[in-house]
Amino acid sequence: MEKQYLIDEMGLSESWRIFRIMGEFVEGVEEMHDVGPAVSIFGSARITADNPYYQDAVKISGMLAENGFAVITGGGGGIMEAANKGAAEKNGKSVGLNIVLPMEQKPNPYSNIKVEFNYFFVRKVMFVKYAMAYVILPGGFGTLDELFEAVTLIQTKRVKPLPVILFGSEYWGGLVEWIKSRLLEGKFISPRDLDIIKLTDDPEEVLHIVQSVHALVS
């Protein structure tokens, strides 16, 4: 897989790579346009099934599915697997937007709508375009990337103002305090920018926030 991935990328001219990118956008839109109201859930691929956050992701996504919301993940393991599992177990739409990487990510078996991408930025568009809320569970650099991309797009009004829900105050609390003490006090952001982020430990509150947003936009 790694060798073929590198050959495919190196063998494409810049012009032909543009067509490949366009093709990924077309495929993504065709697969996702009927997904309905949806929530994108992010988190570490390294979290195992015995981790409490894995169980939280199963519960959150199950509750969302029971209430008519599709669940969108990156399609891999860990939190992504848990979220797809929770939605699938409740017979909901369980979307996995898998990324082809040289040395990792295998799609999990719980997504009943699967789309595969070679380009991170195309995949990111799908996460944002079809979601009405973003739920961020503990994760690493990739999760932080998704978190701050979503916040920046909302802050700059490039997308509609949707909630970014940080689940797990023990994990995210320090980051939120740093944002307040460094970014807000340093006047790098406005007080209203903090309203984009919601911090909670309660799956019921996640559902309530999503339902409140859905009521406003529907």
pLDDT tens profile 84-97:
999 999 999 999 99
Residue 206 has pLDDT above 50, yes or no: yes
Indicate the helix (H) or strand (E) that contains 54: helix 52-66
Taking the C-alpha atoms of residue 74 and residue 59, their distance in angstroms, rounded to an integer, is 18
Per DSSP (E only), the strands in 19-91 are 38-42, 70-73
pLDDT reported for residue 5: 46
CATH number at residue 108: 3.40.50.450
pLDDT reported for residue 90: 98
Burial of 133 from C-beta contacts in 10 A (0-12 / 13-18 / 19+)? buried
pLDDT band at 103 (very low <50, low <70, confident <90, very high): low
pLDDT tens profile 104-150:
568 899 999 999 999 999 999 999 999 999 999 999 999 999 999 99
pLDDT reported for residue 49: 97
Instruction: Note the pTM of the prediction, 2 decimals.
Output: 0.90
| 134 beta partners | 40, 164
Q: Which of 151, 141, 134 shows the shortest CA–CA distance to 206?
A: 134
Taking the C-alpha atoms of residue 60 and residue 41, their distance in angstroms, rounded to an integer, is 9
Report DSSP state, residue 189: S
* Structural domains of the chain, count: 1
Full residue range of the structural domain in which residue 101 is found: 2-217
